[in-house]
C-alpha cells in the first residue's frame, strides 16, 4: 500500500509541475510585435503560452500583465489561464495583446519577466 501512495503522489507532482493538472494561471513568454516609439504608452506584444493547451491559442485567456517600471527597463510579466485537464502539447502560434503603459517607453529596454532575472523581450 505504501508504494501505491508514493506512486500516486509522484504522478500528481509531475502533473502539477507541468501545468496540466487543472486550470491555473501560468507565466507566459512574450516578444515585442513591433518596436514602440519612445513616446509610446502602448506595446504590441505576442504572447506564447507555456502550458499544454491542445492547440488552443491563448487569446481570451491572457491575464492583465504585471508591469514594473525602472530607470532603464520596463519589465512585463504575462500569465495565461491554463485550460486544465489532459491536453496535448503541440505548438501554437502566439496571440496578439496590446499592453497599456502608465509611462512612455522612453529609452528603456522592454524585458520579459517570465524568468528571473528578466530577459530582453526581443
> Is residue 59 classed exposed, middle or buried when 0-12, 13-18 and 19+ CB atoms within 10 A define those classes?
middle
Assigned C-alpha cell, 8? 500516486
Distance CA 97, CA 99 (A): 6
pLDDT in tens, the chain (122 residues): 444 444 333 333 333 344 444 457 888 999 999 999 999 999 999 999 887 788 888 899 999 999 999 999 999 999 999 887 788 887 788 999 999 999 999 999 999 999 888 888 87
Distance CA 77, CA 71 (A): 17
Residues 90, 55: contact at Cβ < 8 Å? yes
84 φ, ψ (degrees, to nearest 5): 90, 165
pTM of this structure: 0.75
Per the structure, the complete domain to which residue 115 belongs is given by 2-120
Please count the structural domains in the chain: 1
Amino acid at each position: 500500500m505504501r508504494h501505491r501512495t508514493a506512486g500516486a503522489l509522484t504522478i500528481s507532482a509531475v502533473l502539477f509541475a507541468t501545468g496540466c493538472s487543472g486550470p491555473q494561471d501560468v507565466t507566459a513568454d512574450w516578444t515585442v510585435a513591433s518596436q514602440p516609439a519612445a513616446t509610446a504608452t502602448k506595446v504590441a506584444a505576442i504572447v506564447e503560452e507555456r502550458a499544454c493547451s491542445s492547440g488552443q491559442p491563448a487569446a481570451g485567456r491572457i491575464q492583465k500583465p504585471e508591469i514594473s517600471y525602472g530607470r532603464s527597463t520596463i519589465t512585463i510579466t504575462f500569465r495565461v489561464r491554463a485550460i486544465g485537464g489532459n491536453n496535448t502539447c503541440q505548438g501554437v502560434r502566439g496571440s496578439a495583446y496590446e499592453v497599456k503603459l502608465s509611462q512612455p517607453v522612453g529609452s528603456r529596454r522592454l524585458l520579459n519577466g517570465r524568468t528571473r532575472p528578466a530577459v530582453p523581450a526581443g
